[in-house]
Structure 1
Amino acid sequence: MTKILLSVLLASLSLPAMAAPPEVNLATTLASLLLVIMLILVLGWLLKRLRLPSIQGDNNMKIVKQLTVGQKERILLLQVGDEQLLVGVTQHNISLLNKLEQPLPEPVVTRPEFASQLGKILKNDAKTK
């Protein structure tokens, strides 16, 4: 299967500019499809590497702040119910560093809704034209 796709891709790259339209359309379509699949795989790998927080969260336990102290070592401030815990995370171990007596205030993060962000972008785009 991969040999066939590779041969079609190579054939599409070596086709002269005046080739028959049906062959060129098939070749460009397959090349575009391969490009889109590769883009999806690269974006998936990138999202996995960035370790973005999940969209759905548990209200009982969440990460308030995190500090990277090494390549795979972090210090996390966890909110568990009403308590805050300072936890050290390494590649092989998770250990409790401290239980905070006075909880730190959570940072206020405001995220505008998608519709309002899109509206601002469209308005800015319309003004520049």
Structure 2
Amino acid sequence: MKPRWLFAILCWLPLPILAAEPAGAMSGADVGAQLGRLLGGLLLVVGLIFLLAWVLRRVQGLTPRGNQAIQVLSTQALGTRERLVLVQVGDEQVLLGLTAGRITPLHVLKQPVVLEPPATAAPANHEFARRLMELLGKDHKDKP
């Protein structure tokens, strides 16, 4: 029985406090103070988010990345969720098949694949550049 009485007292306790002040009778100072507290809390939360992001970046930078034993050499997408990945592990190269729920080693290469840097792009069409310069030159000659 006691918990019911305690619950009833706690439920009725705020009613006299709320009844003492009419709903629309807040002064401008009260509204300003509440708005100031709201903005202060918002700035505190946003500042905390930026602080945590900064700390996370610092913690991630502590792990050495240059001397990892596993390196991804190349990837090739086969579909929306499937891809082939060529991985260097020590002196071996392994071709892996990746799907949404599984990683499968497909082949261990006996001779390592030497990846060549991508070929430079073919030189631009000089005809287009010449024609563009002619058009730009005409525009400048026509203007006073």
- Kindly name which structure, 1 or 2, has the bigger radius of gyration based on alpha carbons: 2
TM-score over 0.5 for the pair: no
Please report the TM-score for the alignment, with normalisation by the length of structure 1: 0.42
